[in-house]
Amino acid sequence: MTSAETEILSNARSFVQRVVAPGAATADEREEFPIDVFRAVGRFGVFGAGFPSDYNGLALGFAVYAGLIREIAQACASTAMSAVAHATLAALPIFLGGSERLKRRLLPALIGGDAIGAFAMTEAGSGSDIAATATTATEAGDHYLLNGAKVFITNANVADVAVVVAKTSPAAGILGLSLFAVEKGMPGFQATGRRERKLGMRASDTGELTFTDVRVPKDNLIGRRNGGFAILQQTLPAARLDMAAIAIGISERARDLCVDHAVGRRQFGKPIGRFQLVQRMLADMETSIDAATLLLAHGLELRDRGLPLAKVASEAKLFASEMAVEITRNAIQIHGAAGYSRDLPLERLYRDAKLTEIGDGTSEIQRLIIADEMIKARSPRIPGR
């Protein structure tokens, strides 16, 4: 790592403890998106870590970005999730496929945290199956007319820019998808105001967006017309690595609380950490966190080198998210009644962990991707799913 990379990571812990951690439990309790914290995260440099300086980024390695997300997730997984939706799912496709003019206009504010981004793919009838996208974009002179509705969108109610997945060739399945940067204030574009009431990630805003004859200038097309899937194939694996980082951060926090409790809590005349059944849970936590960290590091290295990472990103996301659910469940077990109480953050970690098995593609979809990649590597001619 360079000295700039080491420096930002070593300052991150005190920044998170000072700025992100103090309000995390209250924001969860009140189901409020902590917008000031979010903007401070941007000013610290989190959103810009992986972007070049031309667009207000810090041009650091992706291991630094993931390290920052992991650190934030230890304190507030909701903030980490909103950050990933903003920086990876919204800003990254603009960077990858936007015209130079669009990038110069939108990216500096997004990367600095002055504007907030959302990524709008999911619809009522299209979740895992993105070929079923019903939102359409029809070419009309110098613009596209966008019509449709998106659900379960992170940052929906606070977004200044939404990267929207729409069909430009409705009969062409995934090869008929295009991405558009839709900006707040464009007539016909609005958040419905609905805020999902969720099991976890309650301090992350989740809402709905609607598009009624929105005139989107052609310059706001991201990538080629019908080229949306190619950009998604770069963006979604990157977001899966981020989700793995969030799952690892959640797990590390739960593990640390467990070690403290195993040392401090005495039953039957000794610390509960002396009981081998408790030790087994601690040992499994540590081993899986180390394994998930290595998988993530492998994926981040491929990303830094610009190599294909679909399979390892799905592996890291699958492994880390299932691990996070198990570790937080066992962490409550190790704490007994105290773990079940809302006085400790464990129940929040448990609720937050569950999202990591669903967002950015469910565990089932990750398994399908991994198996498809395995089969493709052996028999490239066998058609995919």
Ligand X SMILES: Cc1cc2nc3c(=O)[nH]c(=O)nc-3n(C[C@H](O)[C@H](O)[C@H](O)COP(=O)(O)OP(=O)(O)OC[C@H]3O[C@@H](n4cnc5c(N)ncnc54)[C@H](O)[C@@H]3O)c2cc1C
Residues that bind ligand X (CB under 6 A): 85, 119-122, 127-128, 152-154, 198, 201, 206, 355, 358-359, 361-362, 364-365, 368
Under 8 Å between Cβ of 312 and 244: no
- State whether residue 268 is helix, strand or coil: coil
| Cβ nearer to ligand X, comparing 200 with 273 | 200
Q: How far is the CB of 261 from ligand X (least distance, A)?
A: 29
Q: How far is the CB of 231 from ligand X (least distance, A)?
A: 14
| Cβ nearer to ligand X, comparing 230 with 368 | 368
| Cβ nearer to ligand X, comparing 200 with 339 | 200
Q: What is the largest CA-CA distance in the chain?
A: 79
| Cβ nearer to ligand X, comparing 250 with 272 | 250
Give me the residues paired with residue 210 across strands: 149, 190
Q: How far is the CB of 361 from ligand X (least distance, A)?
A: 5
Q: How far is the CB of 122 from ligand X (least distance, A)?
A: 3
| Cβ nearer to ligand X, comparing 237 with 361 | 361
d(CA 108, CA 105): 7
Query: What are phi and psi for residue 184, nearest 5 degrees?
Result: -55, 140
| Cβ nearer to ligand X, comparing 338 with 358 | 358
192 CB neighbour count, 10 Å cutoff: 14
When CB distances to ligand X are compared, the closest residue is 127
Exposure string of 282-318, with b = 16+ CB inside 10 Å and e = fewer, is beebbebbeebbebbebbbebbeeeeebbbbbbbbbb
Helix (H) or strand (E) holding 190: strand 189-195
| Cβ nearer to ligand X, comparing 239 with 334 | 239
Q: How far is the CB of 384 from ligand X (least distance, A)?
A: 12
| Cβ nearer to ligand X, comparing 63 with 355 | 355
d(CA 316, CA 61): 18
Please enumerate in sequence order all residues whose Cβ is within 8 A of that of 244, keeping only pairs 6 or more positions apart, or say none: 292, 295, 296, 299, 313, 316, 317, 319, 320, 321
140 CB neighbour count, 10 Å cutoff: 12
Under 8 Å between Cβ of 178 and 139: no
Q: How far is the CB of 128 from ligand X (least distance, A)?
A: 3
Q: How far is the CB of 370 from ligand X (least distance, A)?
A: 13
Exposure string of 242-263, with b = 16+ CB inside 10 Å and e = fewer, is bbbbbbbbbbbbbbebbeebbe
Q: How far is the CB of 170 from ligand X (least distance, A)?
A: 19
d(CA 201, CA 45): 22
Q: How far is the CB of 82 from ligand X (least distance, A)?
A: 9
| Cβ nearer to ligand X, comparing 274 with 376 | 376
**Burial level of 40, CB count in 10 A (0-12/13-18/19+)?**
middle
